[in-house]
């Protein structure tokens, strides 16, 4: 075989891993400006699911449009290529170039992962973004994912969620004991301290599990998504506030080999599209959650209730204890927990003077 043929064969293999079209050769430090890429995005959401699934679709469309077709991203919903909870591994090993989901799904692989999505009694969406972009959160997130050959991006936010759906009233702490509840991430760990049995199943399986009694309660997101899943037909009582997910960040993550193969301008496009999608998703969720809540109450007779104060107080105590213990864990986990705690203290002081005071005055 001639030397040129050998080099072309090696380049072709690298291009395939990066998602280049056949014949487009990746160059050292990036790719030729004329190279075109075709990426697969696997998501943890059902295809075109309102807000979350459509957010992933919007992200893919923006990347394709902003790059004038040089980077085309095709989206596959949960189960189309891999199960929802296997997306992380699929992108890590290069089966797909990009994924979209929520970091708390990966706790079994990375202890600190849930902290990059949301923390009980932690940040609102606005505060979460402040921590990620100006409080050191993004640097820690990328350090954490690098060992899995992934580059993470902020690519959505749900805003403050609801506490969840229950098939019986929750009036006292005793009502939580033995309750089987779908609640992933740190929320599940905190609730387990109060006797709840947490279960982590994908959103697409919630209605069946709740309606058949496989679980007794479930949280997913908020009124917009919960209405779309028909959870009001599976449980009567809808509790708030979403103490466990006050501003949950959704993520996009890119296989590092595929990322490094992109030229700089396409890297900027991917990052910018992720940030824009995050902004748009939060705006959509805020608007549609309020409308959906009205529909749930006025058209479906859902019983919307606040969690009792003593339950919230107990949950807060357990949440603070978790962060304190996390700060003593493995080094990266400790650094992330400490960063969140310090930045949250700053946010609490500022928010009390600005947003909190204003909202109290507006509601008076």
Chain centroid offset of residue 45 CA: 10
- 356 and 268 housed in the same domain: no
User: According to the model, what pLDDT value does residue 27 have?
Assistant: 43
Same domain assignment for residues 266 and 237? no
Question: Do 342 and 233 lie in a common domain?
Answer: yes
Domain boundary among 286, 316, 341: 286
- Is 96 within the bounds of a domain? yes
Nearest to 98 by CA among 154, 39, 145: 39
Q: Are 18 and 114 in a shared domain?
A: yes
Does 90 lie in the same domain as 54? yes
Q: Which two tokens stand for residue 277?
A: 């999608």
Is residue 108 situated within a structural domain? yes
**Whether residues 42 and 95 fall in one domain:** yes
Residue 199 lies inside a defined structural domain of this protein: yes
Instruction: Say how far residue 169 (Cα) sits from the centre of its chain.
Output: 29
Number of domains in the chain: 2
Which of 174, 168, 107 minimizes the C-alpha distance to 326? 107
Q: Is residue 146 part of a domain?
A: yes
- Which of 235, 259, 286 is the last residue in one of the domains? 286
Residues 119 and 239 in one domain: no
CATH at 60:
3.40.190.170
Q: Is 294 part of any domain?
A: no
Q: Give pLDDT < 70 ranges for the chain.
A: 1-18, 20-33
Structure-token pair, residue 237: 């009582």
pLDDT tens-digit map of 260-274: 999 999 999 999 999
Domain contains 19 = yes
Give the rounded distance of the alpha carbon of 273 from its chain centre.
16
Q: Does 323 lie in the same domain as 217?
A: yes
What does the alpha-carbon distance between residue 141 and residue 152 come to, in Å, rounded to a whole number?
7
At residue 30, the pLDDT reads 46
Q: Is residue 136 part of a domain?
A: yes
For residue 67, the enclosing domain spans 11-156+248-286
Q: Are 82 and 50 contained in the same domain?
A: yes
Which of 286, 310, 343 is a domain's end point?
A: 286
| pLDDT at residue 21 in the model | 58
Same domain flag for 119 and 135: yes
In this prediction, residue 10 carries a pLDDT of 37
Q: Which residues contact 247 (CB under 8 A, 6 or more apart)?
A: 118, 122, 123, 124, 125, 126, 127, 128, 157, 158, 159, 160
Dmax over Cα atoms in the chain, in whole Å?
Answer: 81
> Would residue 42 count as lying in a domain?
yes
Tell me, what's the pLDDT at 328? 81
28, 105: one domain = yes
Q: Do 129 and 182 belong to one domain?
A: no
CATH of the domain at 305: 3.40.190.10
């Amino acid at each position: 075989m001639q030397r040129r043929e050998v080099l072309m064969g090696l380049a072709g293999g690298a291009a395939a891993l990066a998602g280049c079209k056949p014949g487009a050769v990746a160059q050292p430090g990036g790719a030729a400006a004329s190279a075109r890429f075709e990426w697969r995005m696997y998501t943890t959401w059902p295809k075109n699911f309102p807000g979350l699934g459509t957010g992933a679709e919007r992200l893919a469309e923006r990347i394709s449009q902003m790059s004038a077709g040089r980077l085309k991203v095709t989206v596959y919903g949960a189960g189309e290529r891999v199960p929802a909870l296997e997306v992380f591994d699929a992108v890590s090993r290069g089966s797909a170039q990009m994924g979209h989901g929520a970091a708390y799904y990966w706790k079994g692989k990375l202890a600190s992962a849930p902290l990059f999505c949301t923390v009980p009694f932690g940040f609102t969406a606005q505060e979460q973004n402040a921590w990620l972009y100006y409080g050191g959160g993004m640097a820690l997130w990328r350090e954490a994912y690098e060992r899995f050959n992934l580059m993470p991006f902020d690519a959505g936010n749900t805003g403050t969620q609801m506490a969840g759906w229950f098939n019986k009233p929750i009036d006292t702490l005793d009502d939580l004991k033995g309750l089987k509840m779908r609640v992933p991430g740190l929320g599940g760990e905190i609730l387990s301290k109060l006797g709840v049995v947490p279960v982590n199943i994908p959103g697409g399986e919630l209605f069946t599990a709740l309606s058949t009694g496989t679980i007794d309660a479930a949280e997913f997101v908020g009124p917009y998504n919960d209405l779309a899943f028909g959870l009001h037909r599976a449980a009567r009582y809808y509790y708030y506030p979403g103490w466990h997910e006050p501003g949950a960040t959704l993520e996009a993550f890119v296989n590092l080999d595929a990322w490094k193969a992109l030229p700089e301008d396409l890297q900027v496009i991917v990052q910018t599209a992720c940030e824009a999608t995050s902004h748009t998703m939060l705006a959509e969720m805020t608007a549609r959650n309020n409308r959906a809540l009205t529909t749930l109450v006025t058209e479906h007779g859902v019983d919307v209730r606040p969690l009792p104060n003593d339950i919230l107080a107990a949950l807060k105590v357990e949440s603070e204890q978790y962060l304190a213990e996390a700060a003593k864990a493995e080094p990266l986990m400790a650094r992330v927990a400490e960063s969140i705690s310090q930045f949250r203290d700053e946010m609490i002081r500022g928010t009390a003077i600005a947003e909190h005071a204003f909202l109290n005055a507006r509601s008076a």
